[in-house]
Structure 1
Amino acid sequence: MMSLLKYILSGTVLCLSLQVQAQLFSKGKDADELYNEAVKETKLQHYQKAIQLSKEALQKRPDFIDQQLLLGRLYMLTGNTTLARRYVKDVLTKDPKYKDAYLYAINIELSAKRYEEAECFADEALYQYPYDKELMLKKLGILDASERFFQGGAYATSLLDKYAGDTTVQRAYTGHFLLAGNYYQRRNNQLLAHENYQRALMLDPNNEEARSAINNMNIRSGSYTRAIEQVNEELADSPGSYQLMMRKLGLLQDAHDYAGAINQLQQILKRWPTDAKARSMETELRMEAGAWYANTDPYLLYAGVLEKNPGNREALDKVIGLSISRGAYREALAWINRGLKTSPNDQRLLSLKLDVLESDRKFTEAAMLAERLRYNYAANADQRNRYIYLKTASGRDYLAQQQYDLALAEFDKVLQTDAKDTTALDLMANTYISQKDYVHALEILDKGLHVYPENGRFLLKKSSVLAETGQYDEAADIAARLSGRYPGDARYSANLVDLRLTAGRKMMQAEEYDMAAGQFRAVLAEAPDNLEALNYLINLEAAVEQPDSALFYADRALQYHPDNKDLLLKKAGVLTEMKRYNEANAIAYQLMQRYPYTVKYRTAYTDGLLAAGNNYQRNNAPDSALAVYRQVLSINRKDSLALLYSINLLNGRQSYDSALAYANQGIRYYPDNETFLQKRAVTLESKKMYAEATQAADSVVKLNGNPLYVDYADYLRSKTMKNQFGMFFLHSSYDYQDTKYNIATLEYRHYFKRGSYAARMNYAGRQEGTGLQGEAELYYIHNPKLYSYALATYSNEVVFPRARLGYSIFKTFKHDIEGELGVRYLNADSSNSISGVASIAKTWKDFWVNFRAYFISDAPEFYTSYNLTTRYYMNRQQDYISFTAGLGTSPDDRSRLIQFPKLAGLLTRSVGAGYQKTFKYRTTAGIFGTWINQKISNTEFQNQYDIYITLQRKF
């Protein structure tokens, strides 16, 4: 029992220790895994759990900006605006192009009702992503939330111009003007409320909210005419609508147009004769009409007075006042114009007309009238100010319509009145800038700065215009002055940085790289961590082949942005250019490990390995190169360059089996790639597997009929042919006799692995009979540098010698030099001669030269013979031209062997030339000519002429 208890306790302790050990030595989750879990918890709305996971991830990787943004979002969702703002701003500082961060920043400030901050973030985002629809909609929302509806209207219009067919933009546009209409209606500004509702209806004519609002406004203001007009417009689209017809009836009744109301009721009863509501209204309507007409409408009364007495001023004032009070501005204007016909200089009427035009937003007409009134009251400051306001408003309208000349004329008149008016100066400068007329824009800005030398808006605008005209140094001086004057204002320092960056970009486009680098260095002086400037400097220094400087800026950038993926990749590229492959590949490897599913990092790493491998090849370190290429293939077994380089190296090392395996691997991944098929053919040729090599070469020809590929396929096919049939014809003629001698030869040759053997039959007809001679010949290769030649013949002694024997051994030395030692035996006319043979041959590119010497013993005599042969090879050594020269008669001279005993002691000279052509490595034809001169005595010579024709065919 005690022993059992002991085992149980031991087991428990062991399990607990293993658990503790697992906890102590567990690697734990990395930052990416924690981030993914935090995202899942956020989607499940487990915000506190997600916050905890996010903090753990940031402890492992402090500059993980995706995680920082998620944490900012989580604080925003949990109502901790301060921390949310801090994390999101930190993300934007590190990565100014992070669009989602801008959206979160905007939402944070909107929720805190910090509209100016929200707009700043929106403007910064739109600088990075100009005309981004989502960001533009955000900015419109900010303008609406901050109740800046006038600016919002202009912005909504520009947004709709850019995305006219987008339904989201259309809804935002309509929503803006509905919101603006509600805003102005609550503040009892009926004119602007009506205008905004009308703008909403222009895009969405069926918008019920806008229609209803306008109708209610018209009713409240007593302007039933406009309300009835609106219903009539709707009835034109839906003439059979019961609701619209009843609404019109009610409006006519409210407007006390009982005749029209009764007529409308009759139309309703015609369509719906059994409608109880319509029938019940008939008596009621007539009773109300009777009571009304007992007390006539004042407007109609005064209008009736004016009909009878047009000059009645009191009646005129009454109808004008009643029209304005009812919102009937067109009617009021008509009555005013009617009064001005009789009293054109009536100041009261002119002032009323000015009010009506301004209320109706007809600023140009109002400004013209204000100009007239100003001349009448030159000393009146109010008239002067109103004139300036209306002229400025008129110019704005023209500017919005892109009628720049008219806008400029209006602003010029304002400046004639008040040369110091900042609004007119600013708008005039904007007008010139819109036209890209920078010369005049600068003139206006200088005029404004003369009056207001410290005006920040004018200085900032002048800096931008100077930059547009390429005057970057002057523009930067102004921007630097502003930044120095307002050191705490980020806008001015950001403007200076943006100006320098813009200048640098344009100089790069103009290929002024040194000047561009100066601009970017100036940016770093202002903002040492500016990522864009650092990136440009790295690229510039690399482009002008200054890798040391590029590396300096890459390291500097990584000091501020240590985990920036693009910077790390760029540094790896610079190190590769500097041939510091190990350092470059270490960086690329880390990136690949951190982001295993990102192709560009894997590609960068494999490219770096390939560069390192090529460097090993150049430095004659094939083993190291092969190891690197194997490393590439372990990452991407389909890498074509690594496969090709490996094949080439292995073939160079004569590791043909390994090379063939890689070639087959390449064909498996790239079945129609001619390069791998060609490599397979070359490797099989090296292995002397000519049949398989031929199949591979034929596959290449099918893909690409290039003559080089065809030629190589023919060459390989010839290597598969082991037999050859040949025909030879030797024609000899002499100048000392009329007889011509011919020798015809048939040959069969067989090729085997170590050489070839041949059997020949020579035939020659003479007066004394027919000569027949059989020959056996052997070429045998002992090793790549040593081979033998052997010959044996026997004949019937008619024409040919009785027997010939020969043997030579050939040795290849360095520098393409070949040496020969051999022996010859000849039995002819009961004469036996034995000859020693020695030769040396040398190859220079396409030239081959051979010098051979024979040492002939024909007891009791001893003779020598020499032969020089030169060949010039063509067409990949398929064809050649040969030139020969000889001294003496050699035992290998076929045309004179029958006379050898007689000729051996004579002084004989010979020269010859020939040409041999091979067709598709299979059929060979040749023709050779030799002239032989023999000295018979001191005063007598005789000549022999040989023509030798050959034809050989492999099969």
Structure 2
Amino acid sequence: YNKQGRYDQALLIYEQVLGSANEEERQRLLSGYSDIMIPRVKNLLEAYKLTVAQQSVDRWLTVDQYNQDALLYMINICYQLKDNDAMLRYAQIAEGQYADDVAFKIKLAEAMTHKVEKLADSWALLHSQVKLNPFHIPLVNTFTNTTEEYAGRLLKGKEHEMALNVIDTALHYKDNKALKYMKGLAYEGLKNYDSAYYYQKFYEPSLLELDDFKSHLNYLGQKSFHNTVSVSHLRARFGDDYAISTISTVDYTRLNADGSTYTGRINYAGRAEGKGVQGQFEWERPWTADLSSRLDVAWANKYFAKIALNAAAIYTWKPSWEAEAGLGFRNFYTKQNLFNLNLGISKEIEDFRLNAKLSNLYLNSAGQGRYLYSLMGKAQYFMNSPKNYVLAMGSIGNSPDIDLLDNQFYNSFNFFNAMVGAGLGRSISRNIGVSAIGTWYNFQTGKELDNSAYRNLYNLYLQLNVYF
């Protein structure tokens, strides 16, 4: 029957004989049964009749439930049919029956990889095997591929330290450019930009990716520099007045080995009545991978807040949330004191960053206290790096936002204030970056509701950054 191609009849006779055979005869007959099944299943697979092949192997396993060839066929067929649950079930049976067979260890790990919750276990299983068989090429290749998938998930979850350990383990057994690139991504997440720049250079972009890739390398190069000089210029004009007020700023930032930065800043304001100068010192420090702080103090002789103090703590929790809480104090030349409590939250969604901040303000003026607020929202879209972006923002409240109060263009307290703005940033080269932001403020003057009850203020902010 088998030679005539009448496989079902041949198998049926074998199954009838096996049913009445003793154990010794059964083992001999099972070998013949397999001799019929192997070419049968192979032909079905070559003809892409996967469902029929699966039915044949299932029949095979009913007769000989631990047959090594049958289990291997079934695992591979389930993989091709994308039946991940069945693949895992048969791989577990095979690994349990043939515990010393590396091939089944590999198949079990591959089956586990299709289950997100078992990806770490799959990697650990392969790691234990590759330590015992470091020169087993299929095993090492599977370990490398699984590491790529596992590390990618860790990076997506902001588990940068763990991802780095996983990648380094795999690179010990086989050099791999894709893993080196992912190592660069892990270093970027850990803010180790020197190493991130080095390892991400191993990536081989397509022609479509080339410009974005170069731009991102420029960003990493900028972040790896320890010195930044920034020059900025702010031009402001009221809608009902052609006079232009300006503020020019020069600052220098030094990045230290522990990740902290020191910034010295000088602001110069030119107004019709004269000029004002403000000096400012700022210190930022990361305390852990999730917690950092910022402190700044400023003093001015005119046109700015006379004294300004700010302190903030920033906490990041995985994978993409960030919260900020800050306290501040300002003493104005109008003999008013302003205390502020800022509460902010940010969320990253793919290439977007969304931010909301509530400024709670307490104004003390001539012994009279008043609660004020300003609510701001901002959305940024990043193009291949955080240095290349477009943004839109707006605020509303009964006080100007805190940035405008620092510049002291106007103080419209306890009246309607609103702002909308947009901007963009661009990394020109590894050493140079620029940005521009335009804003429009609309605020109530406090006069009677006539044509002059509301005014407009237009700002244009330009900045040039040099990294070295």
Equivalent residue for 1:238?
none
Match of 1:585 in 2: 95
CA shift in 2, pair 1:774/1:544, >3 Å: same
2:441 corresponds to 1:924: no
For residue 574 of structure 1, what is the aligned residue in structure 2? 74
> What is aligned with 1:935?
444
TM-score with structure 1 length normalisation? 0.39
Distance change >3 Å, CA 630–CA 801, structure 1 → 2: same
Q: CA deviation at 1:850?
A: 0.9
CA contact 2:219–2:385 (8 Å) conserved in 1:
no
- Residue 950 of structure 1: aligned partner: 463
User: Which of 866, 883, 890 pairs up with 2:374?
Assistant: 866
Shift of the alpha carbon at 1:825? 2.3
Offset from partner CA, 1:681-709 (integer Å, 9 cap, x none): 33444555432332222243599995265
String of CA shifts for 1:811-861, please: whole Å, max 9, x gaps. 456895554443332233251312222323242622513132332322333
Superimposed CA distance per residue, residues 568-613 of structure 1 (whole angstroms, 9 cap, x where no aligned partner): 33433325644322432366666x6xxxxxxxxx6x3453243255
Aligned identity (percent) is 16
Which residue of structure 2 lines up, in the alignment, with residue 698 of structure 1? 201
Amino acid at match of 1:852: L
Q: Report the Cα offset of residue 649 of structure 1.
A: 4.2
Match in the other structure for 1:854: 360
Partner amino acid, structure 2, of 1:732: A
Rate the CA distance shift 1:703–1:838 in 2: closer, same or farther, 3 A. Answer: closer
CA contact (8 A) 2:290 2:316 kept: yes
Q: 2:402 maps to which residue?
A: 892
- The question of whether the paired residues in 2 share the 8 Å contact of 1:774 and 1:794 is answered with yes
Cα shift readout 1:609-638 (whole Å, capped 9, x = no counterpart): 4325526x5333624640343214522445
Alignment root-mean-square deviation, CA: 3.8
Residue 6 of structure 2 is aligned to residue 522 of structure 1: no
Q: Which residue of 2 aligns with 1:793?
A: 298
> Residue type of the partner of 2:421?
G
**Cα pair 2:391 2:424 within 8 Å, conserved:** yes
- Match in the other structure for 2:182: 679
User: What is aligned with 1:759?
Assistant: 264
Highest CA radius of gyration, 1 or 2? 1
**Do structure 1's residue 643 and structure 2's residue 153 form an aligned pair?**
no
Q: Secondary structure of 1:679's match? A: helix
The answer (yes or no) to whether the contact 1:664–1:680 under 8 Å persists in 2 is no
Contact in 1 for aligned 2:440/2:457 (Cα 8 Å) = yes
Structure 1 contact 537–550 (Cα < 8 Å) conserved: no
**Does the 8 Å contact 1:786/1:809 carry over to 2?**
yes
* 1:543 counterpart letter in structure 2: L
Letter in 2 for 1:831: K
User: 1:390-431: CA deviations, max 9, x gaps?
Assistant: xxxxxxxxxxxxxxxxxxxxxxxxxxxxxxxxxxxxxxxxxx
CA distance, structure 2, for counterparts of residue 626 and residue 709 of structure 1: 32
Structure 1 residue 664 corresponds to structure 2 residue 168: no
What pairs with 1:339-358 in structure 2 (closer than 5 Å)?
Answer: none
Whole-Å separation in 1 of the counterparts to 2:240 and 2:251: 32
User: What secondary structure is seen at the aligned counterpart in 1 of 2:201?
Assistant: helix
CA distance, structure 1, for counterparts of residue 312 and residue 2 of structure 2 = 87
8 Å Cα contact 1:626-1:649 kept in structure 2: no
1:725 paired residue number: 229
5+ residue gaps, structure 1, are: 1-495, 502-518, 593-601
CA pair 838-777 structure 1, distance change in 2 beyond 3 A: same
Normalised TM-score (structure 2)? 0.74
| Distance change >3 Å, CA 922–CA 527, structure 1 → 2 | same
- SS of the residue aligned with 2:197? helix
2:113 to 614, 621, 637: 614
Question: What residue number does 1:629 align with?
Answer: 127
CA deviation map 1:4-44 (0-9, x unaligned): xxxxxxxxxxxxxxxxxxxxxxxxxxxxxxxxxxxxxxxxx
Task: Give the counterpart letter for 1:781 in structure 2.
Answer: P
1:829 aligns with 2:333: yes
Aligned residues: 417
Is contact 2:75–2:107 with CA below 8 Å preserved after alignment? Answer: no
CA contact (8 A) 2:358 2:374 kept: yes
1:734 touches 1:945 (CA, 8 Å); kept in 2? yes
Q: Give the superposition deviation at 1:741.
A: 1.0
How far apart are 1:767 and its partner, in Å?
4.0
After TM superposition, give the deviation of residue 533 of structure 1 in Å: 3.8
Preserved CA contact (<8 Å) 1:780 1:787: yes
Amino acid of the residue matched to residue 360 of structure 2?
A: Y
Q: Is the 8 A contact 1:650 1:658 kept in 2?
A: no
Which residues in structure 2 correspond to 1:433-444 (within 5 Å)? none
- Higher RCO structure, 1 or 2 (CA under 8 Å, sep 6+): 2
**Structure with greater strand share of residues:** 2
1:659 to 1:688, Cα distance in 2 relative to 1, 3 A: farther
Q: Secondary structure at the match of 2:118?
A: coil
Q: Secondary structure at the match of 1:783?
A: coil
CA deviation map 1:705-744 (0-9, x unaligned): 9526545544433332222221111111124444211111
Q: Cα distance 1:636–1:533, how it changes in 2: closer, same or farther (>3 A)?
A: same
Q: What residue identity is the alignment partner of 1:775?
A: Q
* Closer, same or farther: CA 623–536 of 1 in aligned 2, 3 Å: closer
Q: Deviation at 1:945?
A: 1.7
